[in-house]
Amino acid sequence: MEFYEHDNIIEITGISDFDLYKTFECGQCFRWSADNNGVYTGVAYGKAVKLRKNGKSIFITCSVSDFNEIWIKYFDLKRDYAVIRKQLCIDDFMKTATEFGEGIRILRQDKWEALCSFIISQNNNISRIKKIIASLCRWYGDDICFEGERFYSFPSAVVLSGLNISDLADLRCGYRAGYILSAAKAVASGEINLNNIAVCSQEKARFELKKLYGVGDKVADCVMLFGLHNLDVFPLDVWMKRAVAKYYGPGFDPDIFSPYAGIAQQYIFHFIRNS
């Protein structure tokens, strides 16, 4: 990977696997949206940014310092996904799925944001999840001014821990409101330390996350993969259960994809939903 600065726009070259649509629309994140020209705008770590692709280059509207301190890590730009794709081609199905999903990257999202977002995602569709999160950020996040527009940071656990159920009523997130507030209080108080959980074994991390009210295996696994960046976690939702039943049958063990079971999961998920 190489990058060049052009008047507060960073041009990235030498990245073979970075498809904006596949990365932002694969269900791992909820704060990115595209205009009619395929330019994506999103917010992460208190910063707003725009991305577009032209030929083999990716252009990011940000400063060099923000690129180095935030976006290289957030987009996992130092990881060679082409090598991982080859490693995951263990059978004909995975060859097809990895080719179809070429360009997906696993984002390094903020741990608390990922936890709260996937609590909201339970039994929900993506458009509604995005709407709930946008409202949550607008009401309780900090203002961010970017290119003449106003955006909002994701509210901290400390801020949300001071709310009550009635404060979240207009979000229309139903029973999830109690889950959100319970998780916020646990994280804000230090009862749950997401940084510590991130370096635990997969089994220990899942156990700790499931202590939270309303968090089961699927949410815990999504948090581990997309928030704690444990790339060997294989979340199973309805789509994935259908996929493994169809292509691998009873007794399927995601360890066949280790140490990148989570990346394999995204290729399979994207293929099943879109092929």
Give the model confidence (pLDDT) of 33-50 as tens digits: 999 999 999 999 999 999
| pLDDT tens for each residue of 210-263 | 999 999 999 999 999 999 999 999 999 999 999 999 999 999 999 999 999 999
Which residues belong to CATH 1.10.340.30 in the chain?
111-226
Pick left, alpha or beta for residue 55 (phi over 0 → left; psi -120 to 50 → alpha; otherwise beta).
Answer: left
What are 159-186's pLDDT values in tens digits?
A: 999 999 999 999 999 999 999 999 999 9
DSSP characters for 123-159?
Answer: T--HHHHHHHHHHHHHHHS-EEEETTEEEEPPPPHHH
Mean pLDDT of the chain: 96
Q: Which fold has domain 111-226?
A: Endonuclease III; domain 1 (1.10.340)
Cis ω on the peptide bond leading into residue 155 (within 30° of 0)? no
What's the CATH architecture for 2-78? 2-Layer Sandwich (3.30)
In this model, does residue 108 exceed pLDDT 90? Answer: yes
Q: Which residue has the higher pLDDT, 115 or 273?
A: 115
Is residue 65 very low, low, confident or very high in pLDDT (cuts 50, 70, 90)?
Answer: very high
Assess whether pLDDT exceeds 90 at residue 16: no
User: What confidence tier does 29 reach under pLDDT thresholds 50, 70, 90?
Assistant: very high
- Report pLDDT for 140: 98
Return the closest-CA partner of residue 257 out of 228, 272, 235: 235
- List where CATH 3.30.310.260 sits in the chain: 2-78
Q: What is the pTM of this model?
A: 0.95
Q: Is residue 81 within 8 Å of 87, Cβ to Cβ?
A: no
